[in-house]
Each structure stands twice: as structure tokens, then as C-alpha cells.
């Protein structure tokens, strides 16, 4: 199925792969020049990766829309950082959220759904809103990296994904081969503002109820503590094509 931007994805994937050995900035510029206005990058304003990508787009004067999934359960520091960068960088942030308020969710599914069925909570508050956005895109730019954990070790710089319903899109991961140290080196070099919770001991920042200070076991070890869950579903509900 042809994507919204009417770009041949196989050709685009080949172009992106040729750029794969170049800088992440080159990939950001290429994505905008090739797919605008059917391109967006996602940023949680929690971890540094999305901030790095948003800053690259800002420096390159490529106004790629930034998709922010508001679960309505995020830390005040996260909302404050989003608002700050909207002002300072002029980011075009597209905030998306479920139509189900926290009170409505509690009424329908019971209180503290995130404790009893965290997958369903993430499906309602994260995956479904993002899915609506992705059906209007040809290219989704993310900050996924291989070194973030076992579930992400196979991430490639450029991938073609199929959405539920059959639509295809290009998923671009410019930082796939970056190490955590490289991300933070970029943050320091360019004085990129980041979530202050990082300095308080949080390695991966999501919803208040499902985020804790992490030890030394991994970058995402503070998420969904006490369960086997490692992904919210945003990067697992699409089917990667080989």
C-alpha cells in the first residue's frame, strides 16, 4: 500500500541506506527534504535521544513536526521541558493523547490499571494515539538505539514497517548505532537542555506510576519495575518488513 506522501519506500530505503554511514544530521535533513510534510519525529521529553534529534532538526532549519504522546500521567518536569523547547527552539510540537481521561479510564477499567495490566494501559494511553498519527505519515524518525537493551539490539538505521491495516512507512533511527556516551557528548557539546530527573537518578523517564530510579542493570531498568515488561508498545505494534 502506497504511503501518504506517494514516495516509493523501496527507493527511499535504498537512498537512506547509502546515507547510513554519514552523520545523523544528514539523515535528518534527507528525511525532511524527501518526505515533508509527511514526516515527523517522536520525542518524549524524557530521555536525551529525542532531544538530540529535535535539536539537529532545529540547527538544520528543517522544521520537522515533533510528536509528543501525552499520557496525562507524566512528570511535571517533562511537561516543563516540552514547553521550554517549544518557546526557545520554536518546535512544532504535535501533542496527541487518548480521548479517555484518567477518571474515565478508572471508571471503565478500575483504578491503577497500570499495576494490574500495564500493557493495556500503554495500549490505551500511548499506542492508540500514536497509531492515529502514523497513519498520516510516510516517515517516522525515532531515537531508538541498539545499546538501550535486549529488545532493541537489532534496530537498524532505516527500516520499512507495516501498520495495522496494511499501510507502510519508513522508520528512520539515525542514532541506532550511537552509544549512550555519544548521545550525552552531543548534549554537552551543544548545551541541549534535558530533563532534570536524569540528574536525580532516573535513566528512562515515562509515566510517574511506572518510572523509578534505576540501578546499574541497564538504561531502561527503572521502567515497570517488578514486571517483565520492557517496552510500552510504541515500537512493537508495527511489523518490520525484511
pLDDT tens digits for range 125-160 = 999 999 999 999 999 999 999 998 888 899 999 999
Weakest-pLDDT range from 104-113, 142-151, 207-216: 207-216
CATH (domain of 185): 3.40.50.620
199 burial level (CB within 10 Å; 0-12, 13-18, 19+):
exposed
In a domain? residue 193:
yes
Q: Please give the pLDDT value at position 1.
A: 45
Q: What share of the chain has pLDDT > 90, as a percent?
A: 75
Handedness of CA 132, 220, 62, 194 (dihedral sign): positive
115: domain range? 9-236
Q: Is residue 192 part of a domain?
A: yes
- The answer to whether residue 20 sits within a structural domain is yes
| Inside any domain, residue 174 | yes
Task: Judge whether 232 counts as a catalytic residue.
Answer: yes
Q: Which range, of 33-37, 91-95, 238-242, averages the lowest pLDDT?
A: 238-242
Confidence of residue 221 (pLDDT cuts 50, 70, 90): low
Angle (CA) 51 7 39, round 5°? 20
Instruction: Please state, in angstroms and rounded to a whole number, the distance separating the CA atoms of residues 7 and 58.
Output: 24
Cell of 118: 500495564
Asked if residue 52 is part of any domain, the answer here is: yes
Query: Is residue 165 in a domain?
Result: yes
In a domain, 84, yes or no: yes
Does 1 map to a domain? no
- Sequence-ordered list of residues with C-beta below 8 angstroms from that of 200, at least 6 positions apart, any chain: 213
User: Would the pLDDT of 201 be above 70?
Assistant: yes
Domain count, the chain: 1
pTM: 0.92
Amino acid at each position: 500500500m502506497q504511503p501518504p506522501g506517494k514516495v516509493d519506500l523501496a527507493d527511499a530505503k535504498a537512498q537512506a541506506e547509502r546515507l547510513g554511514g554519514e552523520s545523523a544530521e544528514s539523515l535528518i535533513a534527507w528525511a525532511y527534504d524527501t518526505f515533508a510534510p509527511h514526516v515527523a519525529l517522536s520525542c518524549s521529553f524524557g530521555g536525551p535521544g529525542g532531544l538530540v534529534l529535535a535539536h539537529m532538526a532545529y540547527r538544520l532549519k528543517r522544521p520537522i513536526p515533533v510528536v509528543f504522546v501525552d499520557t496525562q500521567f507524566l512528570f511535571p518536569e517533562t511537561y516543563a521541558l516540552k514547553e521550554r523547547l517549544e518557546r526557545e527552539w520554536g518546535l512544532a510540537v504535535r501533542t496527541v493523547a487518548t480521548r479517555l481521561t484518567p477518571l474515565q479510564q478508572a471508571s471503565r477499567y478500575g483504578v491503577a490499571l497500570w499495576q494490574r495490566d500495564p500493557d493495556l494501559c500503554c495500549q490505551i494511553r500511548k499506542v492508540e494515539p500514536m497509531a492515529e498519527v502514523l497513519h498520516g505519515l510516510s516517515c517516522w524518525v525515532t531515537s531508538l538505539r541498539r545499546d538501550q537493551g535486549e529488545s532493541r539490539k537489532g534496530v537498524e538505521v532505516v527500516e520499512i514497517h507495516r501498520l495495522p491495516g496494511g499501510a507502510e512507512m519508513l522508520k528512520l533511527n539515525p542514532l541506532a548505532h550511537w552509544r549512550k556516551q555519544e548521545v550525552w557528548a552531543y548534549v554537552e557539546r551543544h548545551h541541549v537542555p534535558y530533563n532534570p530527573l536524569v540528574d536525580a537518578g532516573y535513566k528512562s523517564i515515562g509515566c510517574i506510576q511506572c518510572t523509578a530510579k534505576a540501578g546499574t542493570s541497564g538504561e531502561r531498568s527503572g521502567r515497570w519495575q517488578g514486571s517483565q515488561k520492557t517496552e510500552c508498545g510504541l515500537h512493537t505494534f508495527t511489523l518490520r518488513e525484511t
